[in-house]
Amino acid sequence: MNELRARSLHSADTLAARSGESVWIGTAHEGGRSSSTTCSAPTRAPRSCGWAAICRSHASGVGKTLLAFDHGLRRPRGPAPRFTDRTLTESSALAAELYEIRQRGWAASVDERTEGESAIGAPIRDGSGRVVGAVSIAGRTDRLTEAGLPRAALAAQVTDAARDISSALLH
């Protein structure tokens, strides 16, 4: 995680400045969870860089990205824990969502972990194409979505940052 975080700082800063949101970098953690660290944040929401969260993967931008791209996280068996009314808890609904994430190349968590907070994430790949982590932005739902859906321009910014970080891992 340290090398990934070090190589992602420039792209994370750029993404935070462009999106105006906090940027998270995450990797898989045993037990169906993802570990995240806040790498950059805009001035309106200052946070320090360091270990910030270990959360259930089925309800976060980083976690859903890692689950979708089979990054060693176990999908919840049976009903997953519910955090809000929008949390996907049934394994069939989660499997369908993960398929959609793989098709479009990015994940979204809209009010799934905490009401009023959302995230958009994309996979970070190593030189062989294997997913080694994820980058996401997180913030208030009213800033990240429009009519209940993730803003396409923000999803594009996150996927661009993921590509940039993946490239930085090659050097």
Q: What's the per-residue H, E or C state across 137-158?
A: EEEEHHHHEECCEECHHHHHHH
Look at residue 171 and tell me whether its pLDDT is greater than 70.
yes
* Residue indicated by tokens 């009519």: 147
99 three-class SS = helix
Cross-strand pairs, 40: 23
Asked whether 41 and 22 are in contact (CB, 8 A), the reply is: yes
Q: How sure is the predictor about 14, in pLDDT bands with cuts at 50, 70 and 90? A: very high
Look at residue 49 and tell me whether its pLDDT is greater than 50.
no
The domain in which residue 75 lies consists of 2-169
Number of domains in the chain: 1
User: Minimum mean pLDDT among 1-10, 75-84, 132-141: which range?
Assistant: 75-84
Buried b (16+ CB within 10 A) or exposed e, 50-62: eebbebbbbbbbb
Two tokens, residue 75: 């999908």
Look at residue 50 and tell me whether its pLDDT is greater than 50.
no
Q: How sure is the predictor about 143, in pLDDT bands with cuts at 50, 70 and 90? A: very high
Residues 6 or more apart from 159 whose CB is under 8 A from it? 105, 106, 122
HEC secondary structure over 56-89: EHHHCHHHHHHHHCCCCCCCCCCCCCCCCCCCCC
CATH of the domain at 31: 3.30.450.40
Over residues 137-162, the mean pLDDT reads 96
pTM: 0.85
Q: What would the pLDDT profile of 63-104 be if each residue is shown by its tens digit?
A: 899 889 866 666 666 678 888 898 887 888 888 999 999 999
